[in-house]
Amino acid sequence: PAASRGESHARALRACEAARAGEIDLDKARQAFLIFARKAGIEWTGADPVAVLREAKIRRNRARESRALQRPAH
C-alpha cells in the first residue's frame, strides 16, 4: 500500500529502474529490493505459501480436536 512505502521502497524502485536502464548492476538492484522486502515484511522465505497455509490449518484442526478430547463430558 502507498501508505507503507518508505525510503527503502523509493530506493528499491530507483535501483530497479536504473538496472533496467543498464545504469547499475542487477545485483545492486536485487539487494535494494531485498532490503525493501525485508523491511516491508514481504520477503520470500523460500517456502511455498500454499503449503505453509495448509500446514497451519492442519495444525489448528489438530489442536482443536485435541482440546475437544480433553474436555470433560457432561
pLDDT of the residue at 74: 64
d(CA 67, CA 59): 12
The pLDDT of residue 35 is 92
CB 35 within 8 A of CB 48: no
How much is the average pLDDT of 14-41? 93
Does residue 25 have a pLDDT over 90? yes
Domain residue limits, the chain: 2-70
